[in-house]
Amino acid sequence: MTREPDAPQPRAQQPGAQEPVAREPRTQQLGYSFRDRLEAAWVRNDSLLCVGLDPEVERFPRGIAGGASPIFAFNKAIIEATADLVCAYKPQFAHYAAYEAEDQLERTIDYIHQHHPGVLVILDAKRGDVGHTAQRYAIEAFERYGADAVTCNPYLGFDSLEPFLEREDCGTFVLCRTSNPGARDLQDLPVGRAGRPLYQIVAELASTRWNARGNCGLVVGATYPRELGEVRSLVGEMPVLVPGVGAQGGDVEQAIRQGRNTAGAGLLVSSSRAILYASSGEDFADAARAAARALKESINQHRHAPARGHGRV
């Protein structure tokens, strides 16, 4: 059983910054694996939807942007508007560090755990470094921020991932076939005598050698549904985080049909800007709820639809 980490000490506050909430030790469901908690999160709200919490203060309504802790206030409103519609939230680390707002990231994650404990938090940090530094990053993700899972870059190999993967109650989502146009530059490179694309090699490693504790997942963009289907055929029931729906133009139907597992689940379909900024007015939270509900309903419509055509699905 994993020992509950000690609560980190509060950091010195910037002048004028709001005092952070008192942090108690995380009350994760010790004795439950990450995969168990993820499957429970899918069932909890009958949802595969993951909302990305990617704050851009310049896009906040004026009344929020002018406050003492605008990012936390914005996130809290979004969370309260959507928590019954999602399986997870995915704060993107750079969107907080750029504003020197790591304290508001901490408060956001604390708030989710305290008020919506069945909803998971994936810290989208894309960490990847040599082993001893990776250990520090794992402490940052799972102890300082209390995330349930983190995204990692596998370019340095297994020893850069092991400090994350050794925590059975936490998840690690490994970048495999990302949603950006430049993904082809490296991820499609042919490998070995068979000339298989690199992303397929990553998928196989992640689902076998790297997944000894069953807490490894993959990141595959919705903008590449054919590749998503190929990955699903390689990894079986493994969870896949699917960004790229919404502002990036990924097709929901194709992503679900290609990426779902045999139970009609196995995915965390992530959307950020299309939900967060569905309205730029004071009704932003209501608009976010409407956008999240519509996407959740679309996902559920396609996840239970019968397979059609030829191929894997």
List 76, 90, 126, 296, catalytic entry: 126
Alpha helix (H) residue ranges in the chain: 34-44, 62-65, 70-82, 94-97, 102-115, 131-139, 158-165, 184-187, 198-207, 225-235, 252-259, 273-276, 284-303
- What is the pLDDT confidence band of residue 246, given thresholds at 50, 70 and 90? low
Q: What is the mean pLDDT of residues 52-59?
A: 97
CB within 8 Å of 115: residues ≥ 6 apart: 79, 83
Q: Is the pLDDT of residue 181 over 60?
A: yes
- What is the pLDDT confidence band of residue 22, given thresholds at 50, 70 and 90? very low
- Total number of domains constituting the chain: 1
From CA 251, how far away is CA 226, in angstroms rounded? 11
What local confidence, expressed as pLDDT, does residue 250 receive? 75
Q: Is the pLDDT of residue 25 over 50?
A: no
- This prediction has a pTM of 0.88
Residue 223 covered by a domain = yes
Q: Is the pLDDT of residue 24 over 80?
A: no
8 A C-beta contact, residue 89 and residue 51: yes
Residue 17 covered by a domain = no
Residue 21 covered by a domain = no
What local confidence, expressed as pLDDT, does residue 31 receive? 59
Q: What is the mean pLDDT of residues 168-181?
A: 95
Residue 253 covered by a domain = yes
Residue 287 covered by a domain = yes
Q: What is the mean pLDDT of residues 177-193?
A: 93
What local confidence, expressed as pLDDT, does residue 230 receive? 97
From CA 302, how far away is CA 229, in angstroms rounded? 15
- What is the pLDDT confidence band of residue 307, given thresholds at 50, 70 and 90? low
CATH number of the domain within which 206 lies: 3.20.20.70
8 A C-beta contact, residue 148 and residue 90: no
- Integer-rounded Cα Rg, in Å, for the chain is 19
Q: Is the pLDDT of residue 309 over 60?
A: no
pLDDT digits (tens, 9 = 90+) for 59-112: 999 999 999 999 999 999 999 999 999 999 999 999 999 999 999 999 999 999
- Most confident by average pLDDT, 177-181, 291-295, 302-306: 291-295
Catalytic residue check, 296: no
Residue 7 covered by a domain = no
pLDDT digits (tens, 9 = 90+) for 113-124: 999 999 999 999
Output the average pLDDT for the chain: 89
What local confidence, expressed as pLDDT, does residue 212 receive? 96
- At 171 the three-state DSSP class reads strand
pLDDT digits (tens, 9 = 90+) for 122-134: 999 999 999 999 9
Range of the domain at 128: 34-303
In this structure, what token pair is assigned to residue 228? Answer: 């998503």
pLDDT digits (tens, 9 = 90+) for 260-269: 999 999 999 9
What local confidence, expressed as pLDDT, does residue 6 receive? 39
Residue 252 covered by a domain = yes
Q: Is the pLDDT of residue 18 over 90?
A: no
Residue 292 covered by a domain = yes
